[in-house]
Copies of this chain bind each other. A is one copy, B any other.
Amino acid sequence: MTQRIPKHIGIIPDGNRRWAKGNGFQKQDGYAYGLDPGLQLLRLAQKCGVPELTYYGFTMDNCKRPKEQVRAFSSACVQAAEMIAHEDAKLHVIGNTESACFPSQLLPYVNTERQPAGDGRTTVNFLVNYGWEWDMKNGWASRDIPRIDLVIRWGGMRRLSGFLPLQTVYSDFYIVEDLWPDFQEKQFLDALQWYQKQDITLGG
């Protein structure tokens, strides 16, 4: 289908709260509608031969939001992890496990040994209670996560919002204007198509 496939794609699934408001729900109800898109995207990425994905779950800063929102995105992340763990994928959760905001159900997926690529199973990294300052203060805690080739962000914002700053130094950024719960396969395929035309130089 496409020729130059990114080895590692970062996913910023933004826009759940705006989607909820726009569809007559409470803000915190949006996260649950982001679960199925995450699974669809994973299966599509597998079909396209993308060996590694990193999803932006939530950040330590996000935990300053109203309690009902924190409960809602935290619970959505636990469900998402369980869904991914049932797929043909290797799941690694990364984030600050030492704060109350980290869901204990996800501890089994933290610090799991990275298995070599090439067995056909997609590696999925999931940032949960992540913080770029936390990452740096801990001597680049996320250093096992390799360089990201392509970042796809839903929801129209043109920024990284603290997403793995050292893995994204050379990433190409692709923005989808639609909100994350309005995920469609075409958006992902368009991003891959666009990526074909980008020229990798790594500064050389």
Contacts and interface: CB of A to CB of B under 8 A. Distances in A.
Number of copies: 2
A30 to B, nearest CB: 15
A174 interface: yes
A159 B171 CA distance: 6
A172 B61 CA distance: 18
Contact of A169 (B162, B201, B203): B162
Contacts of A198: 157-159
Nearest to A140: B136
A173 B170 contact: no
Interface residues of A, number: 29
Interface string A70-95: 00000000000000000000000000
Contact of A172 (B158, B166, B201): B158
B162 A170 contact: yes
A100 interface: no
Interface string A143-167: 0000000000000011111100110
A132 interface: yes
A165 B174 contact: no
Residue with the greatest number of chain B CB neighbours at <10 A, chosen from A158, A171, A172, A204: A158
A187 interface: no
A202 interface: yes
Interface in A157-201: 157-162, 165-166, 168-174, 198-199, 201
Contacts of A61: 202-204
A64 interface: yes
Given A61-B202, A160-B168, A161-B170, 9 more contacts: A62-B204, A136-B166, A158-B173, A158-B198, A159-B172, A162-B170, A162-B203, A165-B169, A173-B173
6 smallest beta-carbon distances between A and B, as pairs: A61-B203, A165-B165, A162-B169, A158-B173, A59-B203, A159-B172
